[in-house]
Amino acid sequence: MALSIRPIDPARPEFAGEVSDIDIARGASAADAAAIDAGMDRYAVLVFHDQQITDAQQYAFSQNFGPMEKATGDIAARGERRLSMDINDISNLDQAGKVLARDDRRRLFNLGNRLWHSDSSFKPTPAKYSLLSARVIPKAEGDTEFADMRAAWDALDPAMQRECRELVCEHSQLFSRGLLGFDDFTEEQRRQWRPVPQRLVRRHPKTGRLSLFLSSHAGVIRGWPVPEARAFLRDLTEHATQRQFVYAHRWRPFDLVMWDNRVVMHRGRRFDETQMRDMHRTTVADSSPTLDQPGA
Ligand SMILES: [Fe+2]
Residues with CB under 5 A from ligand 1 (ion): 119
pLDDT of residue 1 exceeding 80: no
CA of 228 to the centre of ligand 1 (A): 26
Angle among Cα 167, 170, 174 to the nearest 5 degrees reads 155
The residue among 150, 258, 245, 274 whose CA lies nearest residue 201 is 150
CA of 270 to the centre of ligand 1 (A): 14
Mean pLDDT to the nearest integer, 178-199: 96
CA of 1 to the centre of ligand 1 (A): 32
pLDDT of residue 100 exceeding 90: yes
CA of 45 to the centre of ligand 1 (A): 13
What mean pLDDT value characterizes the chain?
97
Mean pLDDT to the nearest integer, 104-125: 97
CA of 143 to the centre of ligand 1 (A): 12
pLDDT of residue 78: 78
pLDDT of residue 222: 98
CA of 88 to the centre of ligand 1 (A): 10
CA of 146 to the centre of ligand 1 (A): 10
CA of 253 to the centre of ligand 1 (A): 19
Q: Give CA separation, 279 vs 37, 147, 276, in Å.
A: 23, 20, 10
pLDDT of residue 219 exceeding 90: yes
CA–CA dist 274, 257 (Å, integer): 24
CA of 113 to the centre of ligand 1 (A): 6
CA of 2 to the centre of ligand 1 (A): 30
Mean pLDDT to the nearest integer, 157-166: 97
Mean pLDDT to the nearest integer, 5-14: 96
In percent, the amount of the chain with pLDDT more than 70 equals 100
pLDDT of residue 296: 87
Residue 291 pLDDT grade (very low, low, confident, very high; cuts 50, 70, 90): very high
Residue 25 pLDDT grade (very low, low, confident, very high; cuts 50, 70, 90): very high
CA of 117 to the centre of ligand 1 (A): 6
pLDDT of residue 232: 98
Mean pLDDT to the nearest integer, 285-296: 94
pLDDT of residue 30 exceeding 90: yes
Total residues belonging to the chain: 296
Residue 79 pLDDT grade (very low, low, confident, very high; cuts 50, 70, 90): confident
CA of 37 to the centre of ligand 1 (A): 20
Question: What is the three-state SS of the chain?
Answer: CCCEEEECCCCCCCCCEEEECCCHHHCCCHHHHHHHHHHHHHHCEEEECCCCCCHHHHHHHHHHHCCECCCCCCCCCHHHCCCCCCCEEEECECCCCCECCCCCHHHHHHHHHHCCECCCCCCCCCEEEEEEEEEECCCCCCCEEEEEHHHHHHCCCHHHHHHHCCCEEEECHHHHHHHCCCCCCCHHHHHHCCCEEEECEEECCCCCCEEECCCCCEEEECCCCHHHHHHHHHHHHHHHCCHHHEEEECCCCCCEEEEECCCEEEEECCCCCCCCCEEEEEEEECCCCHHHCCCC
CA of 266 to the centre of ligand 1 (A): 6
* Greater pLDDT, 173 or 77: 173
CA–CA dist 64, 76 (Å, integer): 28
CA of 259 to the centre of ligand 1 (A): 10
CA of 225 to the centre of ligand 1 (A): 28
CA of 31 to the centre of ligand 1 (A): 28
pLDDT of residue 213: 98
pLDDT, one tens digit per residue, over 241-283 is: 999 999 999 999 999 999 999 999 999 999 999 999 999 999 9
